[in-house]
Amino acid sequence: MERPSKTELVFVDIERLYTEINQYRRRPRLFRSAFEMYVYKSQQLTEAMRSEYKLMTGAKWNASVFSGWNEFTQALKKIRNAATHGCPIVLNESILGVYPAVELLNDEEPLIDRFRNNGYRVIYTHSFIAAPFSETLSIQSYSIPLKHRLFENPEDSRNYAAPVKEYIFYNLKWDLLELGVMKGTAHHGQVDAIKLVLRSFPALKKYMIFYREELAKNLTDGFKPDYFIRPASGLGWVVNPRYLTGKV
């Protein structure tokens, strides 16, 4: 089995973390750990490229030649810098609950037409107290009493609207935002860590493809895949004659 290069190793880590982040939405401690590592690995990828590209081509790798960066990849870099300089990554849990489009007990105004037409409404629940080491979510969606009771017994479950779906997400705490990690983007308020990952990962994937192509085009002879070949005897390895004559 061929040993992966430094950049391939880091990128495989990023792919694994991308999967774990989506799997750990209901496990705050594991989510935070995976997200924090994803932030660091996104920067480590370029560092590994610089080292590897210099060794294998003799030239300097410049990440700015890649044109696929976006505001979310730039935010990752700023978050990493803030975390490195003393601002740990801490997240607040949030839940978006999707409910049937019915009037609820605490509604002060009738449902807007958009909700009625869609057949559903959404309700946000936020935690304002960070729990970075919690193994379980500190908040949850609840069944909410209907404004107009359908059945006489107030405890009848049919007198309540229950969420039909939940979306778990994590907002960056304000201390990170105040350091300007989202400066220059359209996202100045609450920022969802999952959204940062979902929008940055495709760019990192394209970045890796771009790097592979540039590396393959500029390899020095000694790193080209056909530089060493098997001799006619089948014993050991020898330098490909085409590189000895200079006719490549």
Residue 1 has a pLDDT of: 41
Same domain assignment for residues 190 and 120: no
| Measured distance CA(109)–CA(147) in Å, rounded | 11
Same domain assignment for residues 84 and 180: yes
Greatest Cα pair distance, the chain, in angstroms, is 95
Residues of the chain with pLDDT under 70: 1-3, 174-190, 222-229, 245-248
Residue 148 has a pLDDT of: 86
Closest among 131, 132, 106 to 121, alpha carbons compared: 106
Residue 57 is assigned to a structural domain of this protein: yes
| Measured distance CA(186)–CA(72) in Å, rounded | 10
Residue 213 is assigned to a structural domain of this protein: yes
Same domain assignment for residues 121 and 162: yes
Same domain assignment for residues 72 and 95: no
Same domain assignment for residues 100 and 197: no
Same domain assignment for residues 120 and 194: no
Contacts of 222 (CB under 8 A, 6+ apart): none
Residue 71 is assigned to a structural domain of this protein: yes
Residue 239 is assigned to a structural domain of this protein: no
Same domain assignment for residues 80 and 98: no
Same domain assignment for residues 193 and 218: yes
Contacts of 187 (CB under 8 A, 6+ apart): 71, 75
Let me know: does 3 contact 106? Beta carbons within 8 Å. no
| Measured distance CA(22)–CA(169) in Å, rounded | 10
Residue 115 is assigned to a structural domain of this protein: yes
Residue 63 has a pLDDT of: 94
Same domain assignment for residues 24 and 84: yes
Residue 247 is assigned to a structural domain of this protein: no
* CA-based torsion, 40, 46, 50, 53: positive or negative: positive
Residue 244 is assigned to a structural domain of this protein: no
Q: Which residues pair with 99 in a beta bridge?
A: 121
Same domain assignment for residues 147 and 203: no
Contacts of 194 (CB under 8 A, 6+ apart): 21, 22, 25, 169, 170
Same domain assignment for residues 122 and 196: no
Closest among 122, 119, 126, 125 to 98, alpha carbons compared: 122
Look at the chain and report how many structural domains it folds into.
2
Task: Identify the domain containing residue 85 by its residue range.
Answer: 6-89+176-223
Q: Which DSSP symbol is given to 64?
A: G
Residue 245 is assigned to a structural domain of this protein: no
Residue 142 has a pLDDT of: 81
Contacts of 204 (CB under 8 A, 6+ apart): 11, 14, 42, 45, 73
Angle at 189 between CA 124 and CA 130, to 5 degrees: 60
Q: 46: number of CA atoms within 13 Å, CB side?
A: 18
Residue 245 has a pLDDT of: 67
Same domain assignment for residues 134 and 81: no
Closest among 87, 84, 71, 76 to 175, alpha carbons compared: 87
Q: pTM of the full predicted structure?
A: 0.79
Q: Which helix (H) or strand (E) holds 95?
A: strand 91-100
| Measured distance CA(89)–CA(29) in Å, rounded | 12
